[in-house]
Structure 1
């Protein structure tokens, strides 16, 4: 069996669902259930003996040690993280506590567990750490995409905290021999995405007749990766990646934020036209840019394709259509995640127009 941390969040829950469907191996799922962790994401696994959920914090060393001793996983996949840049600007301490201190405490528990393994169990064990392209900083318009050799230049409290966690994982491999793997992914999108991030926020606001807030001039460029493709990449890295190595995971889909928003609007115009006519694009509202906003991210995923034979199955167009269709078909899920606290956050974050 495997242990997944952060498996009720966006990427983590998609991975758990993908793993049970594609592999069928039992999963113990440890998640703190912060605002973005949602057990409704895993509703389809209720009663399935291959999935066991445990509410808890990766920073709780005693809990992690007990889970490792009881279940003896052959691999641990660490998705647990605070991940929203805007929130890290307003409250960086939470990001340091979870992404840095939490990862350290998790690594300590894992090091003790792995150190006691013998023979084939010890040889086969893996710790896979899921990270982000934001640790590499920002690119100019003509700069080559991030490779695994690109130096770390994080620009937000979020990316700095993830960079620190990556360094800890690397250090535990080089110092203690812990068999680690690290993946650095580009911007994910898809089902079960909490509606504070760009794509789900645009879908939800558009359908509600609200403004579609776009930071600055909307020309910030991101590489977009469908979450299902990310899950398949992680499975492949766990299966065949070389320990101690990093693998960049990207979708080969560089898009400006404003173009993403307009594409979402066009899909909604097609799939769920506005009751009063006109385009959802009329709701686009430019707001003050956030501090230190990185201009461009781009992932060079050629190593993953060259060494492990992985490449994304979805284009941006096919993945985005699937995503919009999912949100249209799952309005109850959206309603349930939109708590009073969530609405208060969105109102505060996007209050001032440019």
Structure 2
């Protein structure tokens, strides 16, 4: 097969990493893979050598390119905007379109006709979790579930040591999250949870990795109000954040909404215990005792979960081993690729 991957995001998040994983898995299985992405964006910069990359600057350029995409066997849209363009040009390229939904947002009533139209014109609709599948199901579409992948990370020791020096982590317990400071991630609840934990101990530092957003000021103000600015440290966006999992004692997520929560999978892979709200796909990932699940917004339960992971060594070993076995089986890169390819081949066989 000749497969075109579509991802035009400006930044670098889980979906962009998954796009590269798909490219690599498809090529390893013997297929030809090309990428259409944003010129000057991080995905174009990180695409491995040897891949054909079509880096385009604007929407008109993408529409022109997709109109002539009949030379591919499958167009695989990895984002909401690229499925729109792939569907709109389908009458010209006449190729099957696959779409991977990586979000869990609820479609607004006045947008149901538009979103439903493009979703129904995808020849293969993939959701990365049951949560990501719930909204298309409400609109009468039954997605295939193919979960995102994660792979072992080669730790950059120099990057880790630089972080230890910067935040004075030597001799401290280290807890962290990796999430933008936006409403969906609910950073204010997380600050309150750390404040609750700090009432009984001060032997730790909490690092918040992630770009700023509409809840940054409120989160910073809450940390100041609780008197934990020396403990709750806003570390910002960091390249190679996966390196830092190697020194974590606990990883925490406080999301209100989450399609999957791929950063949790990195923690699983590095045997870091996870405490999380039960938002969306996080409930699926941490099911069957793979971590500590708490109700959305319950900062006291999050604090209690962090304390247990810090103090109960037997519990810590149990949940991390269970989580590690799960992530290596269910979220393996090559297995994910094989699941996609089986669906692609079945789709082509029906044409």
Q: TM-score, normalised by structure 2?
A: 0.39
Answer with 1 or 2: which has the greater Rg.
Answer: 2
The normalised TM-score by structure 1 is 0.39
